[in-house]
Structure 1
Amino acid sequence: MRTIIKNLFIGLILIALGFAFYWFKLRKPSIDEEFKIYGNVEVREAEAAFRQSGRINEILVDEGSIVKKGDLLATLETDTFSQALSNLDAEIAVANAELTKLNSGTRAEEIALAQANVRQTEAIYRNAEEDYRRQASLLSSGSVSEKLVHGARTTRDVAKANFDAASSTLTLKRNGARREDIAVGQRRVQAVQATRSRLETALEDTRLFAPIDGVISSRNKEIGALVTPANTIFSISIRSSIYVRAYVSEPMLGRAAVGTLVQLKTDSRDKIYQGRVAFVSPRAEFTPKTVETEDLRSDQVYRIRIIVTDADSALLQGMPVTVSIAPTTATVR
């Protein structure tokens, strides 16, 4: 009799344990029960880097500093850029002077000099022409040699060429610079000015400004370091939007639809935070090792992102969070 009672008692205990296992492990919460899931805080970060290479001259913030968008964070040495700007200013002055000269045309004094040169070369040419004709007229009588006549003709041809050249020079000076030459001068001025504009932008880029409001979470370089645009100088935590990454199994996915209002609690504080489901991944994945127990790690779940609507500075990157969804949930669209 005692054996029967003992076996009956053991059986009742096993049934109770099985029911408890089903209740706490296998049974899915109904819509009338609070539903809890677990996740981690995600704080998004922005990287701040110089757009120019150079040596860091000054660092104005440190880790933990609260910054606003547009705040000056650090600067590079500017000696090279300043010297290059001075050289370009000189080139611009020269290019402008040459363009002014082209637009102004030839001075009156230069035209007068060209006219005098024309008169001189014309007189030489006329004299050479007369000498050649005189020598040529005496050739038939044998008074002069053919060689002498040939020399007179050559002298006349040279004088004619000099006269033509002087006349062309006078015409050019009267007409002034060609439109093409003026256009070239204008393009040169524009090219040097464009180079200066690029250098001014490069000089401005030696100043590093905060790209967004946030908190400096890491300072990666020190004064005197040589950096390039590929080097991150600061990482800035964006405190305006704090998220929680959590995972929901497929049977309970309807309880965590987009817009669902939730409550969140960390292990380090008693404060209850308010949140809203902002995103549900369309793709299932296996439960991350850090989120669920060993017997559920092979289950497939859906990642959700929750916006913490009343976040404060106590929520830190990676902090574990318990997410509670009330029995009758409300949603916000």
Structure 2
Amino acid sequence: MNPHLPPEPSDAEAQHPARAGFAARGTTIAIGLACVAGVLLTAGIAPRLEARTAQKHQVAAQRELVVSTVTATRAPSTQDLLLPGSVSSWADASVYARTSGYVQHWYTDIGAHVKAGQTLAQIDTPELDAQLQQARADEATAEANYRFASTTAQRWQTMLQTQSVSQQDAQAKSSDAAAKLATLQAAQANVARLQELVSYQKVTAPFDGVITARNVQVGALVTAGGTPGLATMPGELFHIAQTDRLRIYVDVPQDDASLVGAGTAVSVTTQQYPGRRFEASVARSSNVIDPVSRTLRVEVDMDNRDGALMPGAYAQVHLSLTTATPALELPVSALLFRPDGVTIAVVDAHDKVQLRKVTIGRDFGTYVEVATGLSPTDRVIDNPGDAIADGQSVRVAATAAPGSKA
């Protein structure tokens, strides 16, 4: 048999040539289907393998925490501390009657601006006038008795020199003259007292101010004195307040109390005058921290000659606090509040997390002053998660400019 010649067909193939052709076609189809299946299998598996590889890389990247950091800057030396204040008049007084009688006339009503010593009302005191006349008569009687007793004592002293009277009688006359003098002085004192009471018939203003209340009518009976301190203030004729200067009281928190002094710059704002600031000055403080509120009571004085502010109003007091040694500041978003205290997360040179406790100083709103636990070269993680741990590896995505966020 020649190997280069095609094989001779078998007897079955020779007898059935159609079967031979069908078998050859079946083999070709099988081979084609196998190739198609291989291609489809390759096309389906390859993307899955690529996706799985990408997923592995993504998971590995997510396991490494990506953070942004900020660097600390020096906190400002001056801070504007805003506190609520209570406006009070420079002086405030209730005016009472110092003598009993009937109101003859009143001259000022509420809202009237008066001067010190100006007459506010006139009181008619007929009984007091009669008492004064009687006291003056008693004074005249006492003066006459004293003059007679003094003359008699002098005469008896002259006769004693000539032994015309006994020394005991002369001393008795001198003692009688001294007693009459004391009686005269008592009568004079009584007259002076009644004259002073009569002078109170005119109710006058104790200082320059504005009348804020009038509780008298013509013909009303008023009594001397009153019972100040009660809610209704019985017996009060007028109420006067000095408003050309104002006292504003503020309560400074304990942390800022040491920064408030006589030279502290102060300004006052109110809702009635948006955009306007009233200049003021720190006058004095209590120098004692209130154990209940832990605040320092500070009095701020303000010129109010234009009458812009009214006593009893609510005001906002701006205190410009200055510190000689300001510390570093960070945004509040960089702070972690842990059970053991305020903490920051710092990235070291090996991109490892270091949790560090810090002490907070002044509060600037979105920024806070860090008194201890922070250096200017620290890379502090901004917006650290609560799950961040000490020693954890991180990747720094960006570093914000000093004093700002990334």
Q: 1:315 to 1:183 in 2, by over 3 A?
A: same
| Residue of structure 1 equivalent to 2:214 | 219
TM-score with structure 1 setting the length = 0.58
* From 42, 65, 85, the counterpart of 2:88: 42
Q: Is 1:324 matched up with 2:312?
A: no
Of 266, 269, 272 in structure 2, the residue corresponding to residue 265 of structure 1 is 269
Contact 1:64–1:216 under 8 Å retained in 2: yes
The CA distance in 2 between the partners of 1:251 and 1:185, in whole Å, is 71
Distance 1:38 1:103 in 2: 73
Whether contact under 8 Å (1:33, 1:327) holds in the other structure is yes
Map Cα deviations across residues 136-193 of structure 1 (whole Å, 9 max, x no partner).
Answer: xxxxxxxxxxxxxxxxxxxxxxxxxxxxxxxxxx989xx9993233333333333222
Hey, what does 1:304 align to over in structure 2?
Answer: 298
Alpha-carbon distance in 2 for matches of 1:219, 1:184: 49
The change in CA–CA distance for 1:327 and 1:188 in structure 2 (over 3 A counts) is closer
Structure 1 counterpart of 2:39:
none
Alpha-carbon contact 2:86-2:312 (below 8 Å) kept:
yes
1:86: which partner in 2? 133
Check whether the contact 2:244–2:304 (CA below 8 A) recurs between aligned residues. no
How far did 1:99 drift?
4.0
Match of 2:198 among 188, 198, 203: 203
Deviation, 1:63, is 1.0
Task: Indicate how the Cα distance of structure 1 residues 215 and 98 shifts in structure 2: closer, same or farther if over 3 A, else same.
Answer: same
- Say which SS state the counterpart of residue 313 (structure 1) adopts: coil
Instruction: Give distance in 2, aligned partners of 1:94 and 1:33.
Output: 77
| Residue in structure 1 matching 2:108, options 61, 69, 85 | 61
Unaligned runs of 5+ in 2: 1-54, 56-74, 153-163, 227-234, 324-406
Name the aligned partner's letter for residue 37 of structure 1: L
Contact 2:244–2:307 (CA under 8 A) maintained in structure 1 = no
Q: Is the 8 A contact 2:80 2:320 kept in 1?
A: yes
Is the helix fraction higher in 1 or 2?
1
Contact 1:60–1:72 (8 Å) recurs in 2: yes
Unaligned 5+ runs, structure 1 = 2-28, 106-169, 288-299
Say what the alpha-carbon RMSD is for the aligned residues: 3.3
Equivalent residues in 2 for 1:158-307 (5 A)? 178-223=173-218, 224-230=220-226, 231-270=235-274, 271-281=276-286, 282-284=288-290, 300-307=294-301
Per-residue deviation, 1:74: 1.8
Show CA shifts across 1:166-221 (max 9, x none): xxxx989xx99932333333333332222212211121122222111211111233
Q: TM-score, normalization: structure 2?
A: 0.48
Deviations 1:274-317 (A, max 9, x none): 01122333213555xxxxxxxxxxxx433322111455312112
Q: Distance in 1 between matches of 2:165 and 2:257?
A: 91
Deviation at 1:33, TM superposition (A): 4.6
User: For the residues of structure 2 that align with 1:234 and 1:246, how far apart are their CA atoms?
Assistant: 29
**Residues 217 and 183 of structure 1: is their aligned pair in 2 closer, same or farther, counting only changes over 3 Å?**
same
- 1:251 and 1:95 map into 2 onto residues whose CA distance is 71
How many correspondences in the alignment?
226
Change (3 A) 1:257 1:91: closer
Q: Aligned partner of 2:261: which letter?
A: A
Q: Alpha carbons of 1:79 and 1:273: their partners in 2 closer, same or farther (altered >3 Å)?
A: same
| 1:82-118 Cα shifts (integer Å, max 9, x gaps) | 222222333333334444444555xxxxxxxxxxxxx
- Give the deviation of 1:264 after TM superposition: 1.1
The answer (yes or no) to whether the contact 1:260–1:277 under 8 Å persists in 2 is: yes
Q: 1:280 to 1:196 in 2, by over 3 A?
A: closer
Contact 1:255 1:325 in 2 (8 A): no
What is the percent sequence identity of the aligned residues? 24
